[in-house]
Amino acid sequence: MAQRLATEYVKTCLQLTEEEFHQFVSMFISEQATLQTKVLENGNQEVVLQDDGGQEIVLPFERVSDLYVCMGSCIITNHKIVNAMRKAVSTFRGSAIVKRIYSGYTMVYQYEEGTVRRIVEVKNGSENVIYEYKDTLGMLEQLFHKREVEQEIESIYKQINGLLDLRNELKGMNLNAHIDERLQQLTRRLFALEA
């Protein structure tokens, strides 16, 4: 199995409540990551992690209303920190593009709301889609609930039946031309909808 060289978090976005922020920090502590939390003067906070070789990974959290918002990028080589970050993105329904870098190729994971939506292998400049999320059930539900066409067809049938009844009732009153014109319009629309 290939050895992962590094993991790059690109366009990472996490939005945490204060309680979730403390859970976020606890996730890294439970993975035995060395970290510091710095409280800045404007209410913002920084989580500083020690990666392999003493390299610092700074995750800035900006205070926005009642949330701590982390947006940014970082490269991580420590597997424990990588696992904690993956769990955090998943648990806190974050979004990110994650590049897992191996010798000779890169696996790119696209997370939306904490779920992997797409996995692409990038090798020698070409991309191969490994996995792509398709909400088949959601699409089927939308189709099921999308009954506008069927409802319009039912409405047209009712209008046609009503006009035919009216035409039979008003024999000899010279309104047949107007009724026939409207019937033609409805029939054309019906053919278009049923096609």
Q: Give dist(CA 161, CA 164) in Å, integer.
A: 5
Picking from 98, 92, 47, the residue whose alpha carbon sits closest to that of residue 76 is 98
Amino acid code (one letter) for 42: N
Q: State the pLDDT at residue 17.
A: 94
Give me the phi and psi of 9, to 5 degrees please: -95, 115
Model pLDDT, residue 178: 81
> How high does pLDDT run on average in the chain?
88
Please give the C-alpha separations between residue 117 and each of 113, 127, 129, 167, 191, in angstroms, as whole numbers: 9, 16, 11, 58, 40
The pLDDT score that the predictor gives to residue 8 is 93
pLDDT for the residue 43: 83
What stretches of the chain show up as alpha helix (H) in DSSP?
18-30, 79-91, 136-145, 148-169, 176-194
Q: Could you report the per-residue pLDDT of 65-123, keeping only the tens digit for each?
A: 899 999 989 999 888 899 999 999 999 999 999 999 999 999 999 999 999 999 999 99
Specify the pTM: 0.67
Tell me the one-letter amino acid at 135.
D
What pLDDT was estimated at residue 137?
79
Q: Is the pLDDT of residue 144 over 80?
A: no
**pLDDT at residue 195 is higher than 80:** no
pLDDT in tens, 169-179: 877 677 778 88
- When mean pLDDT is compared across 3-17, 56-70, 166-180, the lowest value belongs to 166-180
Calpha distance 76→5 (Å, rounded): 9
CA-closest candidate to residue 94, choices 59, 51, 128: 59
pLDDT score, position 176: 78
Confidence of residue 131 (pLDDT cuts 50, 70, 90): very high
Contacts of 111 (CB under 8 A, 6+ apart): 89, 90, 94, 95, 96, 97, 98, 117
